[in-house]
A and B are shown apart, each in its own frame.
Chain A
């Protein structure tokens, strides 16, 4: 009887694992192939990409799995020979860091105010944040452009950076975590003589480490993939555009180094993910809207 149950559960797990693998394989293949192709020689990749768009009835592109000669010359071109891609990469990095720095000041503090203080209008502010979460970027785009222009920030990096400091979703995310913290935690702090500020520094922030880590990671992903904001706020400044906006220009006339560009762009995101993944799994406690 007992062994039968064990065998059945093992068998069920086998099916479960197979099904999960069926989900996971298509998810991971595009990433793996991007890295694989970044080690092909530029000439081979260019020939491969130029074979796209052929409408011959039965002709297929090759399925490239092994490079004729493994090479790092794609990376060499991007990192040393021609730095134009690298410059856009640096732009992306600058936006990401600047946005995260501002968010670190604004977002946990706002979440703290909305979860640990009782004041009139608290529910109204929270409701406002929920409503703002729903709005697509384009709704506030035009008035924002006009305001930014009148204060002289349009077509500067600040036009992209500053509005992102206040993204409602992250306030929501952190607030949902903080409101679930037990009151005793803060009462203990108050008994020890901590005011709200010290409770924030010594209790709220350390205890919220998972959700703050999760917010950093999710926000990183957003900032690293900016498209709409730079397109509208930096219209005339090609030199300030991040790499995420320029990828589809690069792809139009491939020179064979695009996969290394993509791989390099994925790499920081990969590190961030590996570093913060446990935080995302334990920090995202969005179980309901309350």
Chain B
């Protein structure tokens, strides 16, 4: 550790200045916008924008959808990633091919995958062939409330690998003799998972959940690719709302919506973080 070195500023200052200029100051400055009326005189209106926006149906629709989509995506990725990582651990040190294959989509531009997605999920596409093969009716995946499925799957497709990698590095830290002992005692996969694995990787498990939830809160690209700027109301996210208000130059609504959302985000992650702390204390 270096203490009282002047060169600290050399390392810290460029980054800190940039963060201030492009993130912190806009964040603080934006609060002012959410409290004024955006007219020529730009007079102070207190909480009126917030009252308006919370009564706005499109805002509430966007918020609801963002919440619902993230509440589906994050736990889904968490679970799939945990299972995949556990499977990968069983065939370690082999399985390099599987490991790299699963991480591959994280690096792929989802914009370039749009076309194949539209083909696969077309009314006459491969997914519907499978659906019919299994004896169900064809589904209109690309319109109405079913639109969520291709969007969620594109999101999961892209983000599964990274979550799996974080789980893998955590699982490798769990001492192998614990499992050997558990196996001698006759514990199966589920018992091992809940008795040994999960309690030992709580920090990583929370981290994956938090990172994926952050990502899922930001879900917009996938919606924009598949549904456009004004998608069906089942997938109209808060980001759609903010972007549309932005293109209408209604900056007050954008910032007010943004801060309402930021407060919710901070509150949620605060709760997650403290749950983790308490859980760790109780176990350790």
Contact = CB atoms under 8 A, between A and B. Distances in A.
Interface in A81-128: 105-107, 109-110, 112-114, 116-119, 125, 128
Given A30-B117, A109-B11, A139 B106 contact: no
B30 A30 contact: no
A245 B112 CA distance: 10
A200 B120 CA distance: 49
A220 B210 CA distance: 22
Contact of A138 (B115, B162, B221, B239): B239
Interface stretch (B17-25, B45-53, B190-198): B17-25
A287 B107 contact: no
Q: Which of B12, B27, B203 has the most CB of A within 10 A?
A: B12
A138 B91 contact: no
A16 B90 contact: yes
A1 interface: no
Contacts of B18: 106, 162, 165-166
Interface residues of A toward B: which range?
35 or more
Interface string B207-240: 1001100100110110011001000000000110
A52 B122 contact: yes
B254 A119 contact: no
Given A116-B2, A140-B23, A166-B23, A20 B109 contact: no
A135 interface: yes
SS class, residues of chain A in contact with chain B: helix
A277 B228 CA distance: 33
A55 B123 contact: yes
Contacts of B29: 143, 147
B7 A196 contact: yes
B15 A109 contact: yes
B217 A136 contact: yes
A124 to B, nearest CB: 11
A61 interface: yes
Contact of A142 (B105, B169, B225, B246): B246
Contact of A147 (B10, B26, B255): B26
Given A140-B23, A286-B166, A20 B84 contact: yes
Nearest to A114: B12
Contact of A113 (B15, B23, B162): B15
- The interface centre, meaning the residue of A34, A59, A60 with most chain B CB atoms within 10 A of its CB, is A60
A166 B15 CA distance: 6
A40 interface: no
Nearest to A135: B262
B64 interface: no
B109 A225 contact: yes
A269 interface: yes
B114 interface: yes
A248 B114 contact: yes
A122 B27 CA distance: 21
Interface in A181-223: 183, 186, 195-197, 200, 217-218, 220-221
Contacts of B107: 217-218, 220-221, 269-270, 272-273
Interface string B116-141: 11111011111011000000001010
Nearest to A137: B218
Given A140-B30, A269-B109, A116 B214 contact: no
Shortest 5 CB-CB contacts between residues of A and residues of B: A288-B203, A110-B15, A143-B26, A166-B18, A113-B11
Given A132-B24, A266-B109, 18 more contacts: A16-B87, A20-B91, A31-B113, A48-B119, A49-B119, A51-B124, A53-B122, A60-B128, A61-B122, A106-B18, A134-B262, A137-B239, A142-B26, A166-B15, A166-B19, A224-B109, A262-B115, A286-B207
Interface of A: 12-13, 16-17, 19-21, 23-24, 26-28, 30-31, 33-34, 37, 48-49, 51-57, 59-61, 63, 105-107, 109-110, 112-114, 116-119, 125, 128-129, 131-147, 162-163, 165-166, 168, 171, 183, 186, 195-197, 200, 217-218, 220-221, 224-225, 227-228, 231-232, 235, 243-245, 247-248, 251, 258-259, 261-263, 265-266, 269-270, 272-273, 277, 280-281, 284-289
